């Protein structure tokens, strides 16, 4: 299980982070200014990184949203 510090380390290695939340997808460019907001939406109630979490090149996908993954497989 990946906690906040480990999740932020993963996000720091990416240029784009997509977080699926139900019917919505939120996109971020991970930086120090948005750290708290990013961790709030990408961690579950237990404090672990939400699943599924997928890294493709310099882009990371966290959580589930049909549209987000349909765009990924294109």
- Residue 48: phi and psi, rounded to 5, are -100, 155
Phi/psi region, residue 22 (left: phi>0; alpha: psi -120 to 50; beta: rest), is: left
| In the predicted structure, residue 44 carries a pLDDT above the cut 90 | yes
Is residue 22 very low, low, confident or very high in pLDDT (cuts 50, 70, 90)?
confident
Mean pLDDT along residues 44-72 = 94
In 4-71, DSSP assigns E strands to 16-21, 24-28, 53-56, 59-64
Q: Which two tokens stand for residue 44?
A: 């579950």
pLDDT at 24: 93
Instruction: Measure the CA dihedral 36/28/13/3, to 10°.
Output: 40
């Amino acid at each position: 299980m990946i906690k906040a510090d480990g999740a932020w380390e993963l996000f720091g290695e990416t240029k784009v982070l997509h977080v699926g939340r139900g019917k919505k997808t939120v996109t971020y460019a991970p930086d120090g200014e948005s750290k708290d907001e990013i961790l709030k939406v990408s961690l579950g109630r237990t404090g672990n990184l939400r699943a599924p979490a997928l890294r493709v090149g310099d882009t990371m996908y966290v959580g589930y949203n049909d549209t987000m993954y349909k765009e990924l497989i294109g």
